[in-house]
Amino acid sequence: MAAKLQAPRGTFDVLPEDGQRRRELYRRAGSVLGRYGYRPFETPVIEDTDLFARGVGESTDIVRKEMFTFEDRGGRSLTLRPEGTAGVARAYVEHGMHKLPQPVKLWYWGPFFRHERAQAGRYRQFAQVGTEALGSDDPSLDAESILLLAELLEAAGVHEVRLRLASLGSLEARAAYLDKLRGYLREHEGELSEDVQGRIDANPLRAFDADHPGTRAVMAGAPRLLDNLSGDDAEHFAEVRALLDGAGVSYDVDPTLVRGLDYYTRTVFEFESGRLGAQSGVGGGGRYDGLVEQLGGPATPGVGWAAGIERILLASDSELGGFPRPVYVAVADDGGRREAFALATALREAGIRTELEQAGRSLKGQLKHADRLGAKAVAIVGEGIEWKDMGTGEQRSVTNAQEAVRIAVGLEP
Ligand code: AMP
């Protein structure tokens, strides 16, 4: 026997039951996003590697260790996108969207790729839904983004949600703070993990994220960015909080919140669910006021988030819409096959989910199968059409296909 093939490590097949839940989540997400004025948008799954090196940041884990990068046949370095914001910012510049009325509000849904250690809730190919609002630094956009994600998670039936919120300040204020933090880390260098030591210059903020006990002890006493915000940044953050308070959104201000991407400025946030294990992050995002300029565009503020589809579904106990119960078209004898096919087509055209006998079962076998499928009714096609209501068990002859369709349309869902 030929060797069996398997899906690559960290990837998965979406089996029909999950496919249905994903579809329903997509529908609900689209409805919430539309209400907030966000429009659907897509970028390619592959981009120039340089986009992520420049956009996400050379010192991030994503760029250093997690990208699927390859050379195409023309010798260009391409990367399977590990996140969505850099691509959207690239497209904003490429299509001159700064000339449109601002802010430009976009949402996307699609696959993303990170070469991470695969475990429950962490995959190498996963899907995200996300938003970006570009062209305004108004704090109401930050609050609106957060509110929008909270509403989407609620619509998806995600439970035990906790929101963590912080501000990273502007890039300039952050630079001054980072110098202070580097100084502090150097004073305690011997107590830090090797990984953190190696990144004191490039990315000292990641020290807040470390699991290493010695590093954690040092970080408990480290200067906090939130206590070092400049006047404008502090005011911006206060306004975001006031808007969230007004909207009745509860959150914890968490000065240790660091996101794994370099482009964030000012507001950052993360939603977690107690329903998830170690990988508790459902979605997160923040403001990125320097990103578009860094990618060669005009100075353009922006704010957005991304949420993991698989994590949302893991943390949701909502049915997310079952399949409607079908009408089953059974074939009493071979002579009825074409009529049965025509009846199934007419039922489907009338908007009814219809299953048709297509596997050579006996009539008894077909009725059993209809039962298994949870059919509301069975139309048995032979000499004529027998209509069997599976709820009441009642059976009667109907004169023709039109009458069968009329009865089916009138059935309870
Ligand atoms: P990030 O861009 O890292 O903030 O990710 C945003 C969201 O995407 C996270 O909160 C997760 O829900 C999801 N996510 C990120 N990485 C993975 C992964 N490797 N597997 C599954 N979901 C992920």
pLDDT exceeds cutoff 80 at 286: yes
The answer to whether residue 155 scores a pLDDT higher than 70 is yes
Quote the pTM value: 0.88
Tokens of 16: 């029909």
Distance (angstroms) between ligand 1 centre and the Cα of 77 equals 24
Instruction: Give the pLDDT mean for 176-186.
Output: 92
CA of 79 to the centre of ligand 1 (A): 17
Q: Distance from the CA of 181 to the center of ligand 1, in angstroms?
A: 27
CA distances from 132 to 100, 288, 300, 397 (A): 15, 10, 12, 58
Model pLDDT for residues 241-259, shown as the tens digit of each residue: 999 999 999 999 998 887 7
Residue nearest to atom 15 of ligand 1 (CA): 308
**Shortest-distance atom of ligand 1 to CA 62:** 3
List the structure tokens of 350: 């009338």
The reply to whether omega before 101 is within 30° of 0 (cis) is no
183: left (phi over 0), alpha (psi -120 to 50) or beta: alpha
d(CA 148, CA 142): 10
Q: What is the residue-wise DSSP string for 225-242?
A: GGGG--HHHHHHHHHHHH
- Between the CA of 380 and the centroid of ligand 1 the distance, in Å, is 50
List the residue whose alpha carbon is closest to atom 10 of ligand 1. 283
**Is the pLDDT assigned to residue 333 strictly greater than 90?**
no
Residue 64 confidence (pLDDT) above 70: yes
Q: What is the structure's pLDDT at 7?
A: 96
* C-alpha closest to that of 109 among 49, 54, 38: 38
Confidence at 260, pLDDT banded by 50, 70, 90: low
Using a 6 Å CB cutoff, which residues line ligand 1? 83, 114, 116, 122-123, 126, 128, 260, 281-284, 306-308, 310-311
Instruction: Tell me the HSE value of 301 on the side-chain side, using a 13 A CA sphere.
Output: 16
The owner of tokens 């914001």 is 85
Q: For residue 342, how far is its CA from the centre of ligand 1 (angstroms)?
A: 47
**Could you read off the pLDDT of 263-282 as tens digits, one per residue?**
889 999 999 999 998 888 99
pLDDT, the chain, mean: 93
